[in-house]
């Protein structure tokens, strides 16, 4: 096990060592809210960060297993490709944004736009999520054990959203959907992987009504008239 103390080691030193590693366990002490800690990991290493972190912690993670014992600022695990990012505290806006794969676990709350434009990542939040979460979510799963803010799933594609609590409002084209056995299995798997205890039967599934991303040729005349052109 290798330990870095960011009271003495620079961010560049720490991240360079993580980028060069192909295996092993690493501990980072005293991150003191630094930005981009453990960003760009590209191998199956285990990293534990003891303390709060700033923007883009564990961004672009590919293969690594990163655990943050503390809170995180904006862009936690942004564009994660694979591996796991697990935070024991809360995260501010855009956690897991544009993630293509892997698992992001937030034991506390997540701020606005959690999972924005997610493209295959699975995100499990133990508390609440803020407004516009899963905006333009394309694939993957967002699991919320608490409540969801306004405009959940706005302009959604094929991401499944599972919420145990209340939803302030649904965004455009996001609707409540039936919970099929396959969805219960997915939910149970993600809850087990996250280590968060909840009954899958207590959740409601939300998904796309599939109206916004279909082009209708009959809409052309209306668009032309609205723009002042000839029909």
* Tokens at 210, concatenated: 């599939």
User: Cα 151 vs. chain centroid, distance in angstroms?
Assistant: 16
10-67: pLDDT as tens digits: 999 999 999 999 999 999 999 999 999 999 999 999 999 999 999 999 999 999 999 9
What pLDDT does residue 212 have? 78
Q: Does an H or E element contain 223, and which?
A: helix 220-226
pLDDT tens-place string over residues 212-225: 766 555 555 555 55
Question: What does the pLDDT read at residue 231?
Answer: 43
Mean pLDDT of 205-215: 83
What pLDDT, on the 0 to 100 scale, is given for residue 89?
98
> How far is the C-alpha of 175 from the C-alpha of 160, rounded, in Å?
11
Q: What does the CA dihedral 223, 225, 228, 231 come to, rounded to 10 degrees? A: 100
Query: The whole model's pTM is what?
Result: 0.91
Contact between residue 171 and residue 148 where contact means Cβ atoms under 8 Å apart:
no
Q: What is the mean pLDDT of the chain?
A: 94
Q: Which domains does the chain have, with CATH numbers?
A: 2-18+36-226 (2.160.20.60)
90-131 pLDDT tens trace: 999 999 999 999 999 999 999 999 999 999 999 999 999 999
Look at residue 14 and give its three-state secondary structure.
helix
pLDDT tens per residue across span 61-100: 999 999 999 999 999 999 999 999 999 999 999 999 999 9
């Amino acid at each position: 096990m290798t330990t870095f103390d960011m009271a003495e080691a620079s961010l560049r030193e720490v991240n360079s060592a993580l980028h060069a590693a192909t295996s092993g366990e690493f501990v980072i002490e005293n991150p003191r809210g630094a930005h981009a800690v453990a960003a760009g990991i590209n191998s199956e290493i285990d990293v534990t960060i003891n303390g709060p972190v700033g923007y883009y912690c564990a961004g672009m993670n590919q293969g690594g297993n990163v655990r943050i014992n503390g809170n995180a600022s904006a862009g936690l695990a942004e564009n994660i490709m694979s591996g796991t990012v697990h935070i024991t505290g809360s995260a501010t806006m855009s956690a897991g944004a544009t993630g293509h794969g892997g698992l992001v676990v937030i034991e506390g709350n997540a701020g606005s736009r959690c999972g924005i434009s997610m493209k295959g990542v699975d995100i499990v939040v133990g508390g609440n999520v803020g407004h516009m979460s899963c905006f333009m979510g394309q694939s993957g799963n967002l699991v919320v054990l608490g409540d969801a803010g306004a405009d959940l799933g706005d302009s959604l594609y094929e991401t499944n959203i599972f919420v145990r609590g209340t939803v302030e409002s649904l965004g455009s084209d996001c609707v409540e959907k039936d919970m099929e056995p396959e969805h219960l299995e997915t939910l149970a798997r993600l809850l087990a992987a996250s280590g968060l205890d909840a009954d899958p039967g207590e959740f409601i599934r939300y998904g796309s009504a599939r109206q916004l991303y279909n082009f209708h040729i009959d809409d052309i005349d209306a668009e032309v008239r609205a723009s002042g052109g000839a029909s």
